[in-house]
Structure 1
Amino acid sequence: MSSFDNIPKISPDLDGKGLRIGIVIGRFNANIGEGLLQSCLTELLARGVAASDILVCKLPGALEMPLTLKTLAETGKYDALIALGAVIRGDTYHFEVVSNEMAAGITRVQLDCNIPVANGVLTTNTDEQAEVRMDVKGRECAECAIEMAKLLRTIRA
């Protein structure tokens, strides 16, 4: 027996039954966003989240995500939120501005509203890089949202 065996631990719980999930998805780079959404929804449903407990909000782009996430969080109706989309590097500094502000805003929503937000907004150099990542990232966001909602529920209890 290890000296660490008696330390309480919270194990990951990926059973989504009974959880309410809000998803925001940017329409910019829509083919990537839709791929992310499909893999995310498939995983949420496979893990027991009811379709009636999922809301999908389509937005113009990444910079609109933090406000929409904050508004969803403030309703108190959701156990976790998910942000999906793609910001793909162009020839200008705009990529950095959008990527940095979006990520900072998502983090701020989590901390200010005490709700987990899985960030599935891909920031890549090319369309091809985003296409390669979209299926895995969509599934990972579903798992992250469920796991974090369950973890916080356990901690708060």
Structure 2
Amino acid sequence: MHHIKTIEGQFQAQGLRFALVAARFNDFIVDRLVGGAVDYLTRNGATRENMTLVRVPGAFEMPLAAKKLAASGNYDGVICLGAVIRGATPHFDFVSGEAAKGIAHAMLETGVPIGFGVLTTDTLEQAIERAGSKAGNKGVEAASAVLEMVRVMEQL
């Protein structure tokens, strides 16, 4: 195997600024995602002073806020956190699909890494599991992906 140049991101958040966009809908779940993301970032060197939490109504509204935050130049990364639960959300598939599409579009248009920490589950129980410790925390996953991408993008 020939050696190829490899670019990868170090999980160091010192000096980086993050915006967290959190849905108010299903907030008792979303608050756990926010907690997971903040905890992850601080454990990796970020400071709370360099984090801004923005509350939006739900997942559908996230892309607009994420795009504006990313385009502002004030943040190295944006993390979107929400929970779309089939039983609780009219037009479940539409809402989750549009949120994902809109967030991806905002990331590509601004060039700023944006994490998709939006749970899409059939039941409340599944959402609780994926916003805790046992089955992992989607907020932690999204924060980790953003941090890695910020450090990768610096090198490209």
TM tier relative to shorter chain:
over 0.9
Structure 2's unaligned 5+ residue stretches are none
Quote the offset at 1:11 in angstroms: 2.7
Asked if 1:84 is matched to 2:81, the reply is: yes
- Give the structure 1 partner of residue 48 of structure 2: 51
Q: d(CA) in 1 for partners of 2:32 and 2:88?
A: 25
Aligned with 1:68: secondary structure? helix
RMSD: 1.3
Indicate which of 107, 117, 120 corresponds to 2:117. Answer: 120
TM-score normalized by the length of structure 2: 0.93
Asked if 1:30 is matched to 2:31, the reply is: no
Q: Which moved more, 1:7-16 or 1:38-47?
A: 7-16
Q: d(CA) in 2 for partners of 1:151 and 1:14?
A: 10
Bigger Rg over Cα = 1
Indicate which of 133, 141, 145 corresponds to 2:130. Answer: 133
- What letter is aligned with 2:140? R
**CA distance change for structure 1 residues 149 and 91 in 2, over 3 Å: closer, same or farther?**
closer
- What letter is aligned with 2:152? L
Alignment coverage as a number of residue pairs = 152
Structure 1's unaligned 5+ residue stretches are none
- Give the structure 2 partner of residue 102 of structure 1: 99
Greater helix share, structure number: 1
Percent identity over paired residues: 40
Q: d(CA) in 2 for partners of 1:11 and 1:152?
A: 9
Aligned with 2:53: secondary structure? strand
- What letter is aligned with 1:38? G
Cα deviations across residues 25-70 of structure 1 (Å, max 9, x unaligned)? 0010111100100111001100001111110001111111000001
Q: d(CA) in 2 for partners of 1:37 and 1:92?
A: 21
Instruction: State whether residues 116 and 142 of structure 2, in contact with CA within 8 Å, keep that contact through their aligned partners in structure 1.
Output: yes
Q: d(CA) in 2 for partners of 1:78 and 1:102?
A: 20
